[in-house]
Structure 1
Amino acid sequence: MLQFHYMAPWVPGFTHAVEAELIASENKPPFTPFQLATIDSKTGFPKNRTLVYRGFLFDDKSNSTLTFTTDKRMDKYDELLHNDRFEAVFYFGRTKKQFRFSGRARIIDDAHRPSIDLASIQPSTLIENNHKKSLKRAKEYDNSDSEYLDLLSPSLLSQFNNDSTSDLAYSTLNELSHLSYIPPTDQEWSDEIERQWNGLSKGLKKSFRKPSPLTPLTDEHVKLMDSINRGVDGKKDDHGKKNFAVVAMFIDRVDLVELDKDRRYIYVKDPHQLWSEEEVCP
């Protein structure tokens, strides 16, 4: 029996760690911070900062893609446009777990959409090649510099998750021949931007109307920030949306350390979205 699962094996443990840490901290703070490192294209040096985790892309754990949001005027926006490689670290101090993620981070806004290519995982491709050849091709193929990523349309994933055949279980690959994987539509990307924007607090939305970060603090800027903070700048909440962007972290490697158990695991994704898991010395 062949079953297709799209959720990475590290996702349940990560989700539980996020929830357990919030419970242990009594929701103080009521969000999950993490560290993100990018590469400064001007200096070549890494740059690190603390961000807030915004959940899974399309609010769907099965795509195994984490998100955060940013102001387009921030350095990390341009840094990721020039070099999308990242490393992110989530450390849960109360529950003694650390997740280190690496992969590609892609900007999602009015001008940018992740480039998606599903050719290598289409059912027709899997049917055309036998299992042995597919494994050999996966080992030889290096997608570390590929512009394209694998991501199914959320509406298609929802259809799969609600399928009455119990998690899309098939006896043979030939039974998949009627399926055709499709990437997210432009409307689905736009809906995701809107969902993420609507999830921000009123106070945070104000920050997108403030002067550009790192610009000199002039008297004019001080007056503008004061008027924004008091809500008398004459602008509505959505005025700052033009500076807003979502960033999707497409993960291909995870380093999990369970400090409480003195255990460590490495998860790696191959070009066909198949994950391997290996326990290593901590």
Structure 2
Amino acid sequence: MIAKCASPIPIAIAVPSSHSHRPSLRPINIIIKCSASSSTSSNINSSEHLRSQLDHLHAEANTTTTKANNARMRLLRLSEAAEKLQKQAAISIQRGDENGAREMLFQRKKVLQALEKSKSRIELLDELSTKLSEAISLKESQLIGSTMNMEDTIEDASSPIRIVAPTEEVQEDFSEDDSEPNTVNFSDFQGNRLDDEEAVNIQGSLSNDSWNEDNAVSFLSFTSAYDEFLENIDKKLDEIEAELVTVLNVSTLVLDSEERPKNSRLQQTTELLESIRTIRQRIASINLSQSQN
């Protein structure tokens, strides 16, 4: 059976009495606190769920970026094809081949229609990519907050076992049962007799030592997990940064110098790239400060 969190467990210990040769039962309440471990477990589950959502969002973002890049390459090919058809139509007119020129212009019209569809598709994919980036940023912030809460839980958690004084009612109950023959005496397990204060001090010392060891192990585990978490974020941001640079390079080829300042998607992509680089610099600064400490 597992004891409930923060519920006192009365335990009778027989200790020697200064007024009597017969050891008397002394009740001691031991409170086992498991709220810290429960909270830590909840934070770990929440972090795992957020990581799973982040992985799914990153996969969707990568797929969307790939589709957008393919659409931009198709747009470039269609633009080149339309320009070639226009030149061929002009050459056909110069040669007096009006039917050939008419056919070239008809084909060019179809290419321009496909080009417009590609532009619309690119805009939709860019909008979806922006929303996915916002969702990823939100989930990453939530994951960082969950990790910080885990650290606070570890630092603020009190001793898992605490000894408190019994109530008078409990003392009376144990006094009435003092004559039972099956009672286990504390003196049976100790070579030397201890008074009440020494017994409590020994148990408190053992409890504190155990908690200090557990706290140290938990803190070291958290530090390692947090460093790994920052490293994973930096890797993901590095991939996103490379993709954004590719998008900007392709957009530079597609748009002329006059259209670039007016294109809101291009400006948003540039701002997003700058923000990601700022975040990566911040992560590098955190890692540097931790290594120096």
Answer whether TM exceeds 0.5 for this pair: no
Answer 1 or 2: which has greater helix percent: 2
Answer 1 or 2: which has greater strand percent: 1
Q: TM-score range by the shorter chain?
A: under 0.3
After TM superposition, the score normalised by the length of structure 1 is 0.23
After TM superposition, the score normalised by the length of structure 2 is 0.23
